[in-house]
Amino acid sequence: MNMTRYAIMVLIFAVLVPQASAATHDGPPLTPIHNNTVRNGYTIETVGDTLGQASAQNTRLIIRVLGPDRKIVKPAQIGLVDKSGGMIKPVSREDRKVGHEENTGLPLSLNRPPDSGLQVGPVGVDFNKVFGAKGSYAYTKVDWPKSVFTADKQLQITLSGGQTFLLPLSSLAK
């Protein structure tokens, strides 16, 4: 009789364990792609690590937010939100300045200062900002462990004014 109970327990275990692990599996890690999303007049540009500079265990996302006036806006907070609503902070975040965009996959920032730089029509280029390491904010690089960068998460971007955007990772990565 002990052998029968043991066989039944093994059979139940064999049936239930794969279902439980399938229910909690988040899927394979995603790889970011270039994407532009417009929400409430703001344009959110994202691209993956085009230079392969992120460490092997991390996924890098490069983010730029443009306001309704087309000026670049620096996010106050960036994180991933899981199904339960919990926030996963990036393992690293670096805000970069104008002039560092050349190899990111994002277009160069063109800022027209009021009294300097070359002005051609409505667009002006401040060459000091474009070619120098100094200048205003241009984009943010954020890294997360590959294991948490999955389709069941959402990217949350919060601006200093309190505006928050939630973007499904499945729309930014494949």
Distance (Å) of CA 8 to CA 12, 22, 135: 6, 22, 70
Q: Could you tell me if residue 4 is inside a domain?
A: no
d(CA 160, CA 174): 29
Does residue 107 form part of some domain? Answer: yes
Total-model pTM: 0.69
Question: How many structural domains are present in the chain?
Answer: 1
Q: Which amino acid is located at 14 in the chain? A: A
Mean pLDDT across the chain: 78
Q: 65 in a domain, yes or no?
A: yes
Under 8 Å between Cβ of 127 and 113: no
Find the range with the poorest average confidence among 13-17, 42-46, 94-98, 135-139.
13-17
- Whose tokens are 């205003």? That residue is 136
Q: Spell out the alpha helix ranges (H) of 119-163.
A: 127-131
pLDDT of residue 150 exceeding 70: yes
Q: Is residue 148 part of a domain?
A: yes
Domain, as residue range, for 75 = 28-172
Q: Is residue 94 part of a domain?
A: yes
Q: What is the mean pLDDT of residues 128-138?
A: 59
pLDDT greater than 60 at residue 22:
no
pLDDT (tens digit, 9 = 90+) per residue, 48-80?
887 778 888 999 999 999 999 989 999 999 999
- Whether 121 is in a domain gets the answer yes
Q: Measured between alpha carbons, how far is 97 from 76 in angstroms, rounded to an integer?
A: 16
In the numeric block, the tokens 């049936």 are attached to: 15
Whichever domain contains 68, its CATH number is 2.60.40
Q: Looking at residue 124, what is its pLDDT? A: 52
Residue 94 is which amino acid? E
Query: In this structure, what are the phi and psi dihedrals at residue 143, rounded to the nearest 5 degrees?
Result: -120, 140
17 lies in some domain: no
Sheet architecture: strand order including 154-159: 87-88, 75-81, 154-159, 164-168
Is residue 8 a part of any domain in this protein? no
Mean pLDDT of 35-45: 95
For residue 129, is pLDDT > 80? no
